[in-house]
Amino acid sequence: MTTSALGDTGVLTGRSLRHILRSPDTIITTVITPVALMLLFVYVLGGAITTGSDESYINYMLPGILLITIASGIAYTAYRLFLDLQSGIFERFQSMPIARSSVLWAHVLTSLAANILSITVVVGVALLMGFRTGASVTAWLAVAGILILFTLALTWLAVIAGLSAKSVDGASAFSYPLIFLPFISSAFVPTTSMPGPVAWFAENQPVTSIVNSIRALFAEQPLGGDIWISLAWLVGILVVAYTVATVVYRRRFR
């Protein structure tokens, strides 16, 4: 982006962030689901689940919870984008001397900021519940990088949904399958414990490699090939989603 586009994006991002600050229930609602799942799995179901390792169950399942937190949060990006479209503010932006790309990037950066805050809260709760890691600063930065890339990839999918939806419910409903996907992965139980076809799907869908990579970083274990598989998935989804989102946006406001 040019200097002008960066400035426009900064102004519009500030506008979107102010909307979130005026309605903190957005963050609270996003955090409730993953925290409730942690409480349920650790204190109710965790004792009946065998992971095949000596680590505590909260350590095992936290990576999947972090992905669910992000999947829950990006639904609000589609929702806010849809409301802006319905209010006619996009048409007003089109008549102003601002970079067209800044409108979408403002929503994307707002999503990133809101999700970082939600993840911080969830990790704090996990620490209170007994999560412990000896991960180095470098490992934590690697985890942060994976989560940021995951957020950006899903947020651009949310942009497509927000631009294409016909109703408020349709704008946010697309995130439901994304929230459900970690349950059919290695996030909560080893894939080897699943029936054949389910295990095959779990092993070959993107969430499993992402969860395994984050879990290995927290446990200070070798990453193996999972990190490259997860990065390939995330970069691929990000590139495709960004391309489709910009095409849909240009067609709608050409």
Mean pLDDT of residues grouped by 10 in the chain (254 residues)?
Answer: 61 69 69 87 75 80 94 84 71 61 80 90 93 92 95 92 79 80 90 89 93 93 90 96 89 71
pTM above 0.85, yes or no: yes
Give per-residue burial for 173-206: e unless 16+ CB within 10 Å, then b: ebbeebbebbebbbbbbebeebeeeebeebeebb
Describe the crossing of helices 206-218 and 196-204 by its angle, rounded to 10 degrees. 70
Signed CA dihedral, 134, 140, 146, 152: sign only: positive
CA distance 27 to 68: 14
CA distance 232 to 237: 8
CA distance 239 to 221: 30
Q: pLDDT value at position 198?
A: 92
**Residue type at 130?**
G
Q: What is the DSSP letter of 43?
A: I
Residue whose entry in the numeric block shows the structure tokens 């500030």: 14
Q: pLDDT value at position 95?
A: 59
